[in-house]
């Protein structure tokens, strides 16, 4: 049954943006030290002699040319630049949100 008298409903719209979510930054990079061993021809000759006599350590060696080492260095520098840029963007938005909150608080007072 519908009542014969109805009251008008007042609709109030409040335009307020939701707070910006700031996820915590990941842990800092924890790099592990690398032991570099440079195999010169003399050291390699000694290693091969030890290998033939059976006294060489069971070690696998990986090699890089000078150009590959330069590429590795450039890649690491590029990663550092990228991380610095991303952290700068995150910091910008955190400061932007803080400034926005401060200006909203000052206008409410």
The 10s digit of each residue's pLDDT in 34-61 is: 888 888 999 989 989 998 999 988 888 8
DSSP symbol at 9: P
Decide: pTM greater than 0.75. Answer: no
| Residue 2 confidence class, pLDDT cut points 50, 70, 90 | low
User: At 77, phi and psi to the nearest 5?
Assistant: -65, -40
Contact 39, 61 (CB under 8 A): yes
**What mean pLDDT, rounded, does the chain reach?**
85
Do 39 and 63 form a contact (C-beta atoms < 8 A)?
yes
- In the structure, what pLDDT confidence band is assigned to residue 81 with cuts at 50, 70 and 90? very high
pLDDT band, residue 20 (cuts 50/70/90) = confident
């Amino acid at each position: 049954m519908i009542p014969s008298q109805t009251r008008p409903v007042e609709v109030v719209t409040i335009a307020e943006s939701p707070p910006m979510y700031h996820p915590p930054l990941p842990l800092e990079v924890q790099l592990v030290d690398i032991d570099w061993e440079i195999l010169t021809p003399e050291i390699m000759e000694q290693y091969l002699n030890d290998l033939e006599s059976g006294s060489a350590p069971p070690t696998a060696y990986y090699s890089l040319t000078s150009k590959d080492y330069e590429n590795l260095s450039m890649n690491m520098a590029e990663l550092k630049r990228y991380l610095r840029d991303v952290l700068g963007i995150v910091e910008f938005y955190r400061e932007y949100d803080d400034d926005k909150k401060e200006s909203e608080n000052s206008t409410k007072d």
